[in-house]
Structure 1
């Protein structure tokens, strides 16, 4: 009966290790093994793309390129395109990309666009091409075309150099039985109680494929002007995500619009919402509008921020610090804090008639599910940038889920602590 309190006391003994140092700005990290393809100026020459594979391409000045896909009548197709301009590209707020999926007759199934916005800072931007079953347009199986276009403001320097592209097609099967098509009319949008606890340091990845897992909690990183960082939060069916981003104070005087941008994407990299904040050197917070819980029927809603929260899986948080801060407030680094809350009651998902491609795109693993509930990370440990206490967190999670007894947990913890101490002295 005394072992569990003793474990709690012992866990508090080791001091937190220093946080891992944030990396300096780096190039966008493409999906490992991404296939290089060349877009075509006409549909006749378009190269084929397959769902479940990532592709790397390039969009030249005045670019307007086609790619080809073969789709079935039953599957909904998602084709996200991420454009990566050179870090030194001159851009305007309205520069960006536009994508569309078109049938063999040239009819557009959908349009999606992404622009650099108020930060006026070159960064990765992502737009989604969509062919959705059950809609009036683009029904039936066969050949479809992805069209990717540059959106360049007149006189903008953004058109002077090619932009790299990452394309990651995915498909979603139909349901075995049609369910409700009534989208949610209301959900819990009340301001939640602020999360307690000190922030834990967590360096983000530099691409969707390198996104770092976050669970519920308060997370902190350092950014330099022009830097973009990627995170992901696993959400089960029925879970509701609430997130905010704060840019810490800095010396200096002036104003920078769109200084810190926070963009949210769903598991197929479809845009959900994007917000930014103006900065005067005083700490300031921004947050997306309250999102509904993850439900299949959300897709029938009109607002994009609701219809995009349509399946379980990893939801991506992308932070970007405008490069214009350097001219007003110096080179940094600047401290940014993410507050992540996961609410709602998880439940089983809908019954699909087949498998999505990739097969795990709408899946939350047991390990990620536990991280989302406890505020842990996929790596843990002091070397993973979690601000210390990683092994403590892992041990307490084992106890919490009842995987091992408290007495065994104590022995394992003491053994691990001893090994770590010996290594640190060596």
Structure 2
């Protein structure tokens, strides 16, 4: 396995590795603190309008260059995250070395430059192919009815299934990512965040048929007033939530990220409500987009709502309870609810809001309900990895941790929102940096 970019070599005692880990955690804290404070201390563009925070890429992602031909494709290793660039109408290949003991999922997050224009159908397609060009699985994602860009995510999968006719041998496979763009769309390069995760097979065959009926009624929304829980700026920085009513502020053109642990047998319901405005009443179509992605960063659902100065709510469609047998469905949303773990919520506010209502942040209320008793897992023959909900995940959801994608290296972005000002958090971070520097200084220097 190749060394991650930016990794620090160990001196044999583990001290340098631990120091590097502390450094990364402190940097993550400062990043989280800055994210919380962006709504009150955003830098300005040359025209005086507020600048959007950039997408928060995984700082441990390794740079890789997709190949123009499968023959030159570089390997994506399981459990790793990568970064690349995708040009307009670009087409890039990566390689996978797969066995027959685990299912493979490869996701891509495409990050256009903020403010760019998009035509209907603009997006990308991701697929896994075997050596004969047979597609094992694919997903196509696009900007739908919006005319503006936002981060897009989709995944492809290769499932080990003795009843399948192809893609069942161990060996070399390829990931193909293709960008689809209208001639009038923005020609900017898109940054890519790629992730390869694997899923154990079952120790014995489980149910593979969907139940005829399921609880599709929408529960009553949470009450009691919202708690501030500002969203993050990317999947790696997604802020953890549990059932409840949550308050955030969102800028025109911004996308916020949260994550919710959903276990086997549970259902996730979510709505996002834009607060009313006193500055106008012009209708902005598809003003707010509320999206749902699964633990492998696969697209599940997206709903939009217009805005005319009155409060407006986007609601996700009711989803089936999380179950292994959901993967037998050809319907995208049902198939997406195939495993337990962190499910990601995203909210994007159209940049057109700035033209009609100004570039100030708009109040956003997120209402989340996780319904249903937890059930035992399907009986994986191995460590489920990200496809489970742990006690630490529950704690992260309670306190609002973010980081690492699996809750193992989190920082509490709720800290600043919970009473400490941004300056206090930054001072605490600077103090930590000073302490760290002292510890790293050899004796006698």
* Unpaired segments ≥5 residues, structure 2: 1-35, 43-51, 402-410, 421-445
Residue number in structure 1 paired with 2:170: 141
Q: 1:194 to 1:296 in 2, by over 3 A?
A: same
For residue 373 of structure 2, the aligned residue among 334, 341, 345 is 345
1:36–1:57 contact (8 Å) kept in structure 2: yes
1:71–1:144 contact (8 Å) kept in structure 2: yes
- TM-score, normalised on structure 1? 0.81
Residue number in structure 2 paired with 1:219: 246
Q: Distance in 2 between matches of 1:146 and 1:197?
A: 47
Q: 1:311 to 1:384 in 2, by over 3 A?
A: farther
Shift of 1:268: 0.6
Shift of 1:126: 0.6
Q: Which of 67-76 and 167-176 deviates more?
A: 67-76
Q: 1:386 to 1:289 in 2, by over 3 A?
A: farther
Q: Distance in 1 between matches of 2:233 and 2:417?
A: 15
Aligned pairs for 1:24-423 (under 5 A) are 24=42, 25-134=52-161, 135-153=164-182, 155-158=183-186, 160-250=187-277, 251-356=279-384, 359=385, 361-370=386-395, 376-378=399-401, 383-386=415-418
- Give deviations 1:185-234, integer Å, cap 9, x for gaps: 22212231231111111111111111000111100111111101110001
SS at match of 1:175: coil
Q: Distance in 2 between matches of 1:140 and 1:82?
A: 28
Shift of 1:380: 6.6
Q: Distance in 2 between matches of 1:99 and 1:55?
A: 15
Q: Distance in 2 between matches of 1:370 and 1:62?
A: 43
Q: Distance in 2 between matches of 1:131 and 1:263?
A: 24
* Structure 1 residue ranges (4+ consecutive) displaced by more than 3 angstroms after TM superposition: 20-24, 378-382
- Give deviations 1:326-376, integer Å, cap 9, x for gaps: 1122212111111001110112212212334xx3x113221332565xx55
Shift of 1:22: 4.8
Q: How many residues align?
A: 362
Q: 1:325 to 1:150 in 2, by over 3 A?
A: same
SS at match of 1:327: helix
SS at match of 1:118: coil
1:380–1:386 contact (8 Å) kept in structure 2: no
Q: 1:297 to 1:383 in 2, by over 3 A?
A: same
- Give deviations 1:284-310, integer Å, cap 9, x for gaps: 111111112111111112321111111
Q: Which of 276-285 and 127-136 deviates more?
A: 127-136
Q: Which of 164-173 and 295-304 deviates more?
A: 295-304
- Give deviations 1:310-335, integer Å, cap 9, x for gaps: 11110000111111111122212111
Q: Which of 214-223 and 88-97 deviates more?
A: 88-97
Q: Distance in 1 between matches of 2:80 and 2:96?
A: 12
2:281–2:310 contact (8 Å) kept in structure 1: no
2:93–2:174 contact (8 Å) kept in structure 1: yes
Q: Distance in 1 between matches of 2:265 and 2:308?
A: 38
Q: Distance in 1 between matches of 2:271 and 2:71?
A: 46
SS at match of 1:219: strand
Q: 1:347 to 1:256 in 2, by over 3 A?
A: same
* Unpaired segments ≥5 residues, structure 1: 1-19, 389-426
- TM-score, normalised on structure 2? 0.78
2:229–2:400 contact (8 Å) kept in structure 1: no
1:118–1:257 contact (8 Å) kept in structure 2: no
2:341–2:388 contact (8 Å) kept in structure 1: yes
